[in-house]
Amino acid sequence: MNTNRKVPLRKCVATGEMRPKKELVRIVRSKEGEVSIDLTGKKSGRGAYLTKEKEAILLAKKKNILSNQLQVQVNDSVYEELLKLVEKEN
């Protein structure tokens, strides 16, 4: 039997595109209010997804999208870490 597996889709908060979960990176706010990058996709807390593209990350930083989605102030270091992660993959 050939069964097609359902691919989980998530929406990028910057571009609004629906994409497979593996093409996105998850940013998590913990209960303590700490913001971190979740490469496993399994950390507990409020999450937001961003496309693994430089333009999407810069747009999120410019419009303060992550701060609004996670309802906490996001440091520039998180955006810098995201940009390094994207550059490594490309």
Q: What's the total number of domains in the chain? A: 1
φ/ψ of 16, rounded to 5, equals 80, 10
Task: Read off the CATH number of the domain in which 16 is found.
Answer: 3.30.1230.10
What is the tens place of the pLDDT at every residue in 11-52? 999 999 999 999 999 999 999 999 999 998 899 999 999 999
CA distances from 47 to 24, 29, 58, 90 (A): 12, 6, 18, 24
What is the tens place of the pLDDT at every residue in 62-85? 999 999 999 999 999 999 999 999
Question: Is 90 exceeded by the pLDDT of residue 6?
Answer: no
Q: What average pLDDT does the chain have?
A: 91
Cα angle, residue 81 at apex, residues 57 and 47 outer, rounded to 5°: 65
Q: Give domain status of residue 4, yes or no.
A: no
What pLDDT shows up at residue 2? Answer: 67
Q: Give domain status of residue 2, yes or no.
A: no
φ/ψ of 51, rounded to 5, equals -65, 145
What pLDDT shows up at residue 5? Answer: 82
